[in-house]
Structure 1
Amino acid sequence: MRLSRFLLRSVSTACVASVTDAMAGYPQALVSRIGHPVIWIGRLIDGLDRRLNTPEHTPACRRTNGFVASAVIVAVPTLATVALERGMRRVLPRNLAVALTGVLASSLVAQRSLHDHVLAVAQQAQVSLPAARRAVSHIVGRDPEQLDEAGVLRAATETLAENFSDGIVAPLLWMALGGLPGAVFYKAVNTADSMIGHRTPRHEAFGYAAARLDDLVNLPASRLSALWIVLAALSLPGMNARGALRVLRRDARTHRSPNAGWPEAAMAGALGIRLSGPRAYNGVRVAEPWVGDGTPDLHPADLYRALALYRRACLIQTLAGTTAMALLGRTLRRR
């Protein structure tokens, strides 16, 4: 009974967060005035990086310090959120507490911002290649000046697929399992990986724990995001759900990332295009295998199709959440 109530509250929080983010996103005025939860977590990570990851430390010491830092990065914001959520439940009526928690949790979901950033790339690609390069530079890590139009559009599509998993599905999944603290736990792990989980001389040892933990916590969401994309393809005309399944089985595990390959493969198969492939990071050419069977020569229309697939996948996830909420509520009423 207690577990069912906890899950109902957590799933309800995730549903409110999903709808709130889709409707309003995180207002830029709030970013300017108070910042964003990811910015706050980033400050903690930066402070630990400067103190525990210095040239005086040996590689072995850096790796040990990385484990300590990862524990602190996860524990501090998660425990603070546990206290916040409990405090709201004590002073507010139950439904109001869930609604307010969901609104706060919407700041950890990126449905609207991801859509708007990728849409800007598609729109600018119809204007000029330099404009498209500037737009894509806000959402990818590779050098946009080395990309032709097809490369820009592939980069945006790959970002859309990958961030659907780790920017939307994963935080909502952890939220559904653990409420607002669950989402904060995930976001702390993911932010740590994005800041220190790199194979560079500075972070190879110190960021090892953050990178491995991020791989682990993203594993279920990456598979779930691929499922949502396949179901979205099944429900949209002009999409290829069978192709998505075929490319998933063949190419998902060949990707450089143990998780990003799943949504990318599903999206490539559904759209009938090729993603990933060779690319340049900081001027260094990296040979990556292709994902998908179709053409790599994308046009703006392909990115608009990817956005339609993304919107449908987000809708399917929201419907799945509301269905789970209704079933949990019915179970509790019967008891």
Structure 2
Amino acid sequence: MSLSESLPLLLAALVIEAAIGYPAGLFAWIGHPVTWIGALIGWLDRNLNRETASFAMRRLAGVAALSILLGVTLAASLALVGLCRLAGAFAALPLALLASTLLAQRSLHDHVADVAAGLEQGGLAGGRKAVAMIVGRDPESLDEAGVARAAIESLAENFSDGVVAPAFWLGAGGLPGGALYKAINTADSMIGHKSPRHLAFGWAAARLDDLVNLPASRLTALLLTVAAVLDRQADAGAAWRAVRRDAGHHRSPNAGWPEAAMAGALGLRLAGPRVYGAVRVDDGWMGDGRAEATAADIRRALRLYRQACLLLWGLAGIGTIFALTMP
């Protein structure tokens, strides 16, 4: 797809997804593209990841599995584009509806808002129950400040992974570009971790996910910093200083950028040592503010997130105008 097609598609998809999300009834009926991708990844993991094989052979099997996943995803997305184009002048709507399923603006906002509501209405127990839906760490190890920080960290990181990155690749490559990104990101979340089973098999997925998220993580930090300029309760200067000082100290090459920007803008400290399962992860702190985050800070983070989403819409709109008017 050319930019004159992909950028208007991105803008329409952002608006549609923010307005209606992905209806629960539709999910119950046919699932979601991520669940379909996940089913294929699970099948490949069960059939290609042999525990009796050598480390090198399991790494090679992971490369093969990722290649199969991307080949199937590309073929399916190109077929869908072709089917939509059969509608002629009406092709834009089904394409935009399909593209909107690759974004998570609304669902991310709602899940993080549920954590704030859980803390406000149910105290620590309510917050732990809600945050367990969006983070992988042990919720029982978190106090109220830890629950609030976990929600804000998840908002920042998933703004990059679940909104800006698929938007970036939708804009660059249309529906196939966005679908390929989603396949890579889902593979990383399922097999890209350093467990004994997936250390070798998930190596390719993890490395490719790091690569395709590089531009979006930096763009997300910029969007949050600019959004802080528009928010009287946020500090854009502190956001920029935190990004420059702290982003490179995160164990992830990408997650530190949005987390540092969010931490600096809100005057918080995020990341740091955390517990996943029974394993303690010593990570660098993002930001130099207070660690005692609250439900009110989650609400502040959500307001900053909404403003950053609007800025992303603005970028898509400006890109669309240029793409449609350039000779």
TM-score, structure 1 length as denominator? Answer: 0.96
- Distance between the aligned counterparts of 1:286 and 1:259, measured in 2? 17
Aligned to 2:104: 110
- The one-letter code matched in structure 1 to 2:114 is A
- Distance between the aligned counterparts of 2:49 and 2:258, measured in 1? 34
Matched, 1:54 2:50: yes
1:129-278 aligned within 5 A? 129-278=124-273
How much does 1:98 deviate? 2.1
CA contact (8 A) 2:7 2:323 kept: no
Q: 2:77 aligns with which of 78, 81, 84?
A: 81
Aligned to 1:35: 31
- The two structures, once aligned, show a CA RMSD in angstroms of 1.0
TM-score, structure 2 length as denominator? Answer: 0.98
1:76-109 CA-partner distances (Å, limit 9, x unpaired): 01221112202322x2224x21222011111110
1:210-256 CA-partner distances (Å, limit 9, x unpaired): 00000000000000111110110011112100001100000011001
Aligned to 2:117: 123
Unaligned 5+ runs, structure 2: none
- The one-letter code matched in structure 2 to 1:187 is K
Runs of 4+ with deviation above 4 angstroms = none
Aligned to 2:288: 293
CA contact (8 A) 2:227 2:311 kept: yes
Matched, 1:67 2:59: no
Unaligned 5+ runs, structure 1: none
Aligned partner of residue 135 in structure 2, secondary structure: coil
1:111-130 CA-partner distances (Å, limit 9, x unpaired): 00000000000011112110
1:45-97 CA-partner distances (Å, limit 9, x unpaired): 011100111222111110000000011111101221112202322x2224x21
- The one-letter code matched in structure 1 to 2:237 is R
Aligned partner of residue 285 in structure 1, secondary structure: strand
Matched, 1:97 2:124: no
Aligned partner of residue 275 in structure 2, secondary structure: strand
- The one-letter code matched in structure 1 to 2:36 is W
1:297-325 CA-partner distances (Å, limit 9, x unpaired): 01111110000000000000001101110
1:255-275 CA-partner distances (Å, limit 9, x unpaired): 010000000011101111000
- Distance between the aligned counterparts of 1:301 and 1:50, measured in 2? 44
- Distance between the aligned counterparts of 1:197 and 1:327, measured in 2? 38
Matched, 1:327 2:319: no
- Distance between the aligned counterparts of 1:268 and 1:223, measured in 2? 15
- The one-letter code matched in structure 2 to 1:148 is D
- Distance between the aligned counterparts of 1:260 and 1:99, measured in 2? 33
> What is the aligned-residue identity percentage?
54
Aligned to 1:14: 10
CA contact (8 A) 2:249 2:283 kept: no
How many residues are matched? 326
- Distance between the aligned counterparts of 1:148 and 1:138, measured in 2? 16
